[in-house]
A and B are shown apart, each in its own frame.
Chain A
């Protein structure tokens, strides 16, 4: 029951969020392009929201700015550059691949490689441990122990 209410409430929140977006597009294609671009940009006020999601005044201003630029014929790259010039790489959810962002892009791969190397060594060491060969006498003693007829007088040497 509770989730139904949740769904109902969620529907209404979406409706109210949509209501304050007065931007009008002359083609559906342009609107899709705009929406896609806005989801690529981070709102700096509420950092876990994109410009598309955010209701912050700054996000509205930046949406309007991007809208005006797009209307005047700016390409997606132009608008991206405009935002990055003012707010830095941080505004992009997918920052450009350049020296300062190398670690950001390659970090996960690097961690994976380190983990793989560690796993490789660890598993390799285990295999060696399993493959220990017993001498004939040790083998016989092990058998006796397993059969439960072991003479317990011997002390383990280590």
Chain B
């Protein structure tokens, strides 16, 4: 009797396993940088080539670092979220403009709105490599000690922001008080 159901049990197990597999996104690769210090960098600003922006300017507070580019189509999808966030002023958002041209980046921000405190110009993508960037847009949550606490790959939507990122930001902020 039990033996007869054995194939069925194996089959159900296999279907369950495959069903879980279908819900996973193979493009999301876990970052080894989580809970590690964010790579140190210092880059020229998008709006001011003479001024620098980097780890030094971001330290001491919880920040979001959003990797974006004017050529990145899905960046437009998430951009509204950052504009809203900038208006609320709850957490400073810094930009890492990845493999872009200054003129294009400036024009893009004029057109879609600029939610960033400052954007760094990573023209050759070297800082991007240090951050393990492989699919723009990406968003990092960096705490006051400069530790990366979370990384989101792909465009951010309202749900991710409200359910994952903002609660984490609030928790990290609370930890510092």
Contacts and interface: CB of A to CB of B under 8 A. Distances in A.
Interface residues of A, number: 15
A45 B134 contact: yes
Given A57-B99, A86-B130, A45 B135 contact: yes
B32 interface: yes
Interface in B121-147: 124-126, 129-132, 134-135
B129 A62 contact: yes
B32 A85 contact: yes
Given A58-B134, A61-B125, A90 B99 contact: no
A87 B29 contact: yes
A86 B135 contact: no
B99 A88 contact: no
Contacts of A89: 32
B31 A88 contact: yes
Q: Is chain B's interface secondary structure helix, strand, loop, or mixed overall?
A: loop
Interface in A86-109: 86-90
A35 B99 CA distance: 25
B166 to A, nearest CB: 26
Contacts of A79: none
B162 interface: no
Contacts of B126: 65
A45 B31 CA distance: 14
Contact of B29 (A58, A65, A88): A88
Contact of A88 (B26, B27, B32, B130): B32
A90 B29 contact: yes
Interface in A26-46: 44-45
B134 A88 contact: no
Interface in A113-131: none
Contacts of A84: 32
Contacts of A47: 26-27
Contacts of A44: 29, 134-135
Given A47-B26, A47-B27, A88 B132 contact: yes
Nearest to A61: B125
A44 B153 CA distance: 12
Most buried by A among B26, B31, B125: B125
Contacts of A62: 129
A47 B31 CA distance: 15
B33 interface: yes
A145 to B, nearest CB: 28
- Which 8 interchain pairs have the tightest Cβ spacing? A44-B134, A88-B32, A86-B132, A90-B29, A87-B132, A61-B125, A58-B134, A45-B134
Interface of B: 26-27, 29-33, 99, 124-126, 129-132, 134-135
27 contacts: A44-B29, A44-B134, A44-B135, A45-B135, A47-B26, A47-B27, A57-B125, A58-B125, A58-B134, A61-B124, A61-B125, A61-B129, A62-B129, A84-B32, A85-B32, A86-B32, A86-B33, A86-B129, A87-B29, A87-B32, A87-B134, A88-B29, A88-B31, A88-B32, A89-B32, A90-B29, A90-B30
